[in-house]
Amino acid sequence: MANPSLLILAGDGIGPEVMAEVKKIIAWMGSRRGIRFSVSEDLVGGCAYDAHGTPLTDETMARAQAADAVLLGAVGGPKYDKLDFSVKPERGLLRLRKEMDLYANLRPAQCFDALADFSSLKKEIIAGLDIMIVRELTGGVYFGEPRGIFPDNEGGRVGINTQRYTTNEIRRVARSAFELARRRNNKVCSMEKANVMESGILWREEVQWVHDNEYPDVELSHMYADAGAMQLVRWPKQFDVIVTDNLFGDLLSDCAAMLTGSLGMLPSASLGAPMKNGRPKALYEPVHGSAPDIAGQGKANPIACILSFAMALRYSFDLGDEAARVEKAVEKVLADGVRTADLMGPEGGKPVSTSGMGDAIVTALDASLA
Ligand code: NAD
């Protein structure tokens, strides 16, 4: 079998810096575990605009469609702020998500013990936390029609957005959540506002339908999204997988992510329908942006990008053991007190550079084989 293909789009700002550390892990997997990828690289975002006048060329889009997985760094920066909306760096990312039809956005919120003090919540509430938020990414109020700002009947204006979900849109993201739960602790909590929104009633009924007909072995509960927000900060460890719509997921996943500390630690995956080879269309990327304030200084934390690659190992390549190996290496390095600047506590100390963190993780991977 040919090696699975991985398209790397490092992007702008700290994107290439953190991606350089991921490449060390990819190389390690090849040399020490015999797991080889056919890696290619291309441009996205501001650097693509500089080279081609567009944040994503048709050729790059076609390569992304053909790849077994896409790994993205970050896009954007002040240099591109004044560009026309149609060619802004973010348009490249949005085009990838839209044309690959990546409807399930996976955002883990995992608390490494060594960083439990970073949370704004008490340590006992957060230590050992490991939850996954699955956010519907291609439907709902961000896309529904009609939308716009119109004159109203009283001489003023009216702003309209439409929350709209179909059976198919709900069922396919529910399936993603149930599949994930089976690989984890077998529990799904679905969140909507069925008490005040018809789309919420449909959401609840369809998620229940998928459960009853296809995943009766998974424990399913329903919660109103506002109550879910409260429960997330009251006792987050009650959850395993949360599935929710685009708007609520936007808020709830940011809230859950910040339970665990720095932006430099947060990976994500966006998955679509299975391809011919059974793998889902997939884009893996850190949650953070291009961090222009620290770009080019060797200060960026590469862990979010490295953990995004670990998600690719697990969800695109069925290499859960190797993903866990990478995650354990990160945990070990943090437990040993290795910190990039964003992870320095008030007690201070000397931070390592971006490449120092990558090297420490490779050393921990070596140690995992000893
Ligand atoms: P940002 O995530 O780039 O940075 C926010 C803060 O977090 C900054 O202080 C930054 O230094 C810090 N930070 C982020 N990642 C870090 C890391 N890995 N290690 C250490 N510190 C880190 O968000 P922003 O400043 O709002 O946006 C900057 C640019 O990135 C903008 O052009 C924005 O449009 C773009 N952006 C892109 C994405 C993406 O590519 N997915 C996401 C968000 C923002």
Percentage above 90 pLDDT, the chain? 86
DSSP-derived 3-state class of residue 110: strand
Q: Are 323 and 347 in contact (CB under 8 A)?
A: no
At 77 the pLDDT is: 96
The mean of the pLDDT values for the chain is 95
Nearest CA to 234 out of 265, 256, 250 is that of 256
Give helix then strand counts, H and E, for the chain: 12, 12
- pLDDT tens, position by position, 139-189: 999 889 999 999 999 999 999 999 999 999 999 999 999 999 999 999 999
d(CA 265, CA 343): 9
- What is the per-residue pLDDT for 1? 58
What does DSSP assign to residue 26?
H
In the reported structure, the alpha carbon of residue 291 is separated from the centroid of ligand 1 by a whole-number distance in angstroms of 4
Residue nearest to atom 20 of ligand 1 (CA): 300
Type of residue found at 3: N
Q: Which atom of ligand 1 is nearest to the CA of 72?
A: 40
Does 26 sit in the ligand 1 pocket, CB within 6 Å? no
- pTM tops 0.85: yes
Asked if pLDDT for residue 2 goes beyond 90, the answer is no
72 lines ligand 1 (CB under 6 A): no
How far is ligand 1, taken at its centre, from the CA of residue 81, in Å? 14
List the one residue out of 307, 314, 305, 316 whose CA is nearest residue 271.
316
Q: What is the Cα–Cα distance from 193 to 247, expressed in whole angstroms?
A: 11
Give the dihedral sign, CA 317/138/54/19.
Answer: negative
Determine the pLDDT at residue 294.
97
- Nearest atom in ligand 1 to the alpha carbon of residue 78 is 32
Please work out whether the CB of residue 263 comes within 6 Å of at least one atom of ligand 1: yes
Task: Please give the positions annotated as active site.
Answer: 142, 193, 226, 250, 254
Q: Which of 102, 290, 306 to probe ligand 1 with, by most ligand atoms within 8 A of CB? A: 290
**Tens digit of pLDDT for each residue in 110-135?**
898 888 888 888 889 998 899 999 99
DSSP per residue, 207-256: HHHHHHHH-TTSEEEEEEHHHHHHHHHH-GGG-SEEEE-HHHHHHHHHHH
Q: How far is the CA of 71 from the centre of ligand 1 (A)?
A: 17
Cβ neighbours, 10 Å, residue 355 = 14
